Amino acid sequence: MTLLYNETSLHQADGAAAKRPVKLAQVDPAQAGRPQTDFVEISDVTLSYGGDEGVTAVEELTMSVRKGEFAAVVGPSGCGKSTLMKLTTGLVIPQKGRIAVDGTMVRGPLDIVGMAFQNPSLLPWRRTLENIMLPLEIVAPHAQRLRKHKAEYVARAEAMLDLVGLGGFGSNYPWQLSGGMQQRANLCRALIHEPGLLMLDEPFGALDAFTREELWGVIRDLHQKKKFTVVLVTHDLREAVYLADRVFVMSARPGRVVLEREIGFERPRPIDLTYTVEFNDIVHELREKIAEARADTPQIGSKD
């Protein structure tokens, strides 16, 4: 346990909500009953694109994520964050080191993972509900069951839409939805096959600030309800601190973890939390670490 915050008041003056006290308890994971088993284990992993003469994206990268934990990864642009996502899901295989998910070595693409990226990439010719059901057509055992149990799966997809506030929009085409609504649908598609691990690569990066905060609430509540493990890559430090149980800061390329920060604010976390001094102290601490990492970034045109 790294910090202990007790009752505190908000430091944002305007608005009735801002005057409500926010309880900032630093929760010891052991006492909170959070499972302690590692669900994702990455040890000493090195990956170079284009072989030994190519670009070393990550080098001797070691990190692990507990089962049910919400982990966030931040770091300078080009430091290997998306590479880390590809490695963990088996889309690329490292030259060196070991990656295991749920106790099994990763040797190829995993189907216990749901993924969402910045671009929702919903298929424009499919209605929203049909887009959400796409993984069920591919992933076992659903692909085999889908035809016979269609009604059951449609009900599941509709329940997901309700959960993210898109109830009634299933028959709309993606281009009839706003950017925020498309990203909600994207989260539904990532979660429809009930994966144990959700990988999010800058999923809210293209949204305006208000929509992004709404989506934070959506993912916070989904995680609370469904208890999956999350790895979120983001360049938004407030997003990382608000959502995560632990934030990993990566160095400039070749990426490795230079700071691991437990974020112990109790859950559920109100959005007001993001205006407190305690919250912003952590954001500043992370920002300084990233500024150091960026200072080490090789200049464009250098041979590195």
Ligand X SMILES: Nc1ncnc2c1ncn2[C@@H]1O[C@H](COP(=O)(O)OP(=O)(O)O)[C@@H](O)[C@H]1O
Residues that bind ligand X (CB under 6 A): 49-50, 55, 57, 77-83, 253
Residue 80 interaction partner, one of ligand X, Mg ion, none, beta carbon < 5-8 Å per kind: ligand X
Strand partners, 249: 74, 259
Return the one option of Mg ion, ligand X, none that residue 24 interacts with (CB less than 5 to 8 A, by type). Answer: none
83 binds, among Mg ion, ligand X, none (CB under 5 to 8 A by kind): ligand X
Least distance to ligand X, CB of residue 178, Å: 26
Q: Reduced to 3 states, what is the DSSP secondary structure of residue 246?
A: strand
Cβ of residue 97: shortest distance to ligand X, in angstroms? 16
Calculate Rg over the CA atoms of the chain: 20
Q: Give min distance, CB of 184 to ligand X, in A.
A: 23
Q: Report residue 135 as tokens.
A: 């993984």
In the bound state with ligand X, the residue whose beta carbon lies nearer, of 132 and 259, is 259
According to DSSP, residue 26 is labeled: B
Give, in degrees to the nearest 5, the angle at Cα 57 between 52 and 61: 105
Which residues contact Mg ion (rule: CB under 5 A)?
81-82
Q: Report residue 217: phi and psi, to 5°.
A: -60, -40
Q: 205 vs 217, which CB is nearer to ligand X? A: 205
Q: How far is the CB of 235 from Mg ion (least distance, A)?
A: 9
The per-residue DSSP string of 37-98 comes to SEEEEEEEEEEEETSTTSEEEEEEEEEEEETT-EEEEE-STTSSHHHHHHHHTTSS--SEEE
12 touches, from ligand X, Mg ion, none (C-beta below 5 to 8 Å by class): none
Report in angstroms how near the CB of residue 139 gets to Mg ion at its nearest. Answer: 25
